[in-house]
Structure 1
Amino acid sequence: MSGQASPAMDVAALEAIDVHTHVQASVLDSPATAEGDESFAAMADYFKAGAVTRFTAPMIAEYYRRRRMAAVIFTVDTMHLSGREQIPSNEEVAEQAARHADVLIPFASIDPHRGAAGVAAARRLIEEHGVRGFKFHPTSQGFFPNDRLAYPLYEVIAEHGLTALFHTGQTGAGAGLPGGGGLRLKYSNPMHVDDVAADFPDLQIILAHPSFPWQDEALSVAMHKPKVYIDLSGWSPKYFPPLLVRYANTLLKEKVLFGSDFPMITPDRWLADFGKLEIKDEVRPKILKENAARLFGLAPH
């Protein structure tokens, strides 16, 4: 693994594990607000987040360290639709996570349209850089999760016993822009991920976000497929559909994960609203930390 040695993650000392945060600036550049970036500004407006700072990985590490939390960090590779290379690179995300291994868990992102080169990069990122999973955003990457062009990537992820995290449902990306920025919501129906779970039974999968307008589908897939989880990022808990809360409290209490979608939604805001939900006392620690620790194989220190 690249990067310098760092203290191991002390899971027992953590109050929560946020499985969904975005690194949006490189350590090589100066962090900036959304000013001057129409897409980023539109997303901040969608989340009613105000002026949002682009966080580097070390900034995220310090932010979560102060809160005694760990965070899964990633960028999103949207080369096929956007024509832009991701910033920061997957390698930088992994390197910085290694330097802050007490609080950061690195995921990579590879656009499935990269083909064989992407598959080779995925294997290298796992074996040489120690990434722990991969983030897919079907709407921003322009593909159906069950499209066979992505299957070689899933094979590598499953081979190494890692996790694939799929954006599902509506997205803040492109929201409010003419034509939604050309992004198509149809790609992010969680039923397309059901095919992936059936074809790769050993692949650990997270369906990201309350999956509006397909919440029932997401609950069904998570109920039916043993290795499919749901993260609760991207929405304030006060807007969670009642059925999602009911399942999180009962039938899916071992498979629901805390996620914020930082920096658009902060863990402080998310946890304040989560505290007002009628969640059983014995279920709260499962959602906030225990389910993620088990999923990622993080043994208590």
Structure 2
Amino acid sequence: MKRALMALLLFSCGAFAQETAPAPAARPVFDIHVHLHDGGESLRAYKADAESARVELAGIGVMWFGGPNQAPAGDPDDIRARNDALIELAAEHPGAMPIGTVHPYDGQAALDELERIAGRGVKVIKLHAHTQQFDVTDPRLLALVRKAGELDMVVLMDNANIVAGDSENLFTLAIRAQQTKFVFAHAGGLNFRFWNILPLARTAEGLELENVYFDISGTVLLAADSPIEKEFLWTLRNVGIDSLILGSDYPQISLARTLEAFEKLDLTEEEKTKIRSGNARRLFDL
């Protein structure tokens, strides 16, 4: 009888402690890679998804362009109008950071648009060699990203290695425009191993390459719980944990699915905190 009473007492105390225990500390997330194919409707759907997954959003990098929504050369007026619409939409949603775009082959018009949207508070532009159909080695792109550096703008570029020589060409671009900060999306895809060259490259005199960052969208899904996970973690630490930013690539990949894969990685909590939001806050001066 005494044992039964003791067991009941311990169970009651445990239940009480469980009910009154403080909730786990919030782990805010900054998602650098969110496509708004349908403008405000897409943004509302994204936020609803994040809320249902109980994700605390520290910020969202939003862009109108990507996938079926292109930013082709030859129509800078359309790009200008879309950039303005995105800026206005982001202003209505606290925490949304507008990511503009231009096309490097539009020459002076692209440089002028870059300066104009920088004046409107845009801190980041997105460029995508495959869908925009430009060559990363083209001198017009170099002129554009150098201009972005002068304006203290970050250049987000696709790096999923769906174009031959993708990582190699981006590496060269980052060297030729060392005053510009780059975020290479998808961290090289399944060619992420290439970026292990960075620690060696940084040993060269005058080649610090502190301007290279990565978002791990997409690739993290392939690496988590896979035979390549250890190599992926080795690469993340080689390029530098302080250089990594979380991204989902919504709507192609949800934030919840991205976080599920991310939490499987054998990273320390300090490393995860930096990747979830700390590095983005620092890079974008939030």
| Superposed pair shares fold, TM > 0.5 | yes
Unaligned runs of 5+ in 2: 1-24, 203-208
Query: In 2 relative to 1, CA 24–149 (structure 1 residues): closer, same or farther, beyond 3 Å?
Result: same
Secondary structure of 2:113's counterpart equals helix
Name the counterpart of 1:9: none
Amino acid at match of 1:136: L
Answer whether contact 2:218 2:258 (CA < 8 A) is retained: no
Q: How does 1:252-267 map to 2 (within 5 A)?
A: 252-267=240-255
Query: Per-residue displacement from partner, 1:206-255 (whole Å, max 9, x unpaired)?
Result: 11104134322234248741110111012353535432222324651111
Distance 1:88 1:267 in 2: 28
Using the alignment, how far apart are the partners of 1:186 and 1:138 within structure 2?
11
Which residue type is aligned with residue 91 of structure 2? A
- SS for the counterpart of 2:242 is coil
Structure-2 residue corresponding to 1:293: 281
Per-residue CA deviation, residues 5-43 of structure 1 (Å, 9 max, x unaligned), is xxxxxxx9870111111110135xxx6xxxxxxxxxxxx
Q: Which residue of 2 aligns with 1:216?
A: 193
Asked whether the equivalents of residues 75 and 86 of structure 1 are also in contact (C-alpha less than 8 Å), the reply is no
1:197-216 correspondence runs (5 A)? 197-216=174-193
2:91 aligned with 1:98: yes
Corresponding position: 1:111 with 2:103: yes
- Letter of the 1:231 partner, please give it: D
Which residues of structure 1 form unaligned runs of 5+? Answer: 1-11, 32-54, 172-184
Task: Decide which of 25, 49, 55 is 1:67's aligned counterpart.
Answer: 55
Equivalenced residue count is 244
Q: Cα offset for 1:261? A: 0.4
Structure with more helix by fraction: 2
Counterpart residue type for residue 180 of structure 2 = L
Q: Select the residue among 213, 228, 249 that pairs with 2:212.
A: 228
Displacement after TM superposition at 1:59 (Å): 4.4
Asked which structure has the greater RCO (Cα within 8 Å, sep 6+), the reply is: 1
Quick one: distance in 2 between partners of 1:269 and 1:157? 32
Q: Counterparts of 1:273 and 1:81 in 2: how far apart (Å)? A: 40
Give the fraction of aligned pairs with identical amino acids, expressed as a percent.
22
Query: Which structure has the larger Rg?
Result: 2
Q: Which amino acid aligns with 1:262?
A: Y
Given the superposition, is the C-alpha separation of residues 62 and 202 from structure 1 closer, same or farther in structure 2, using an over 3 Å criterion?
farther
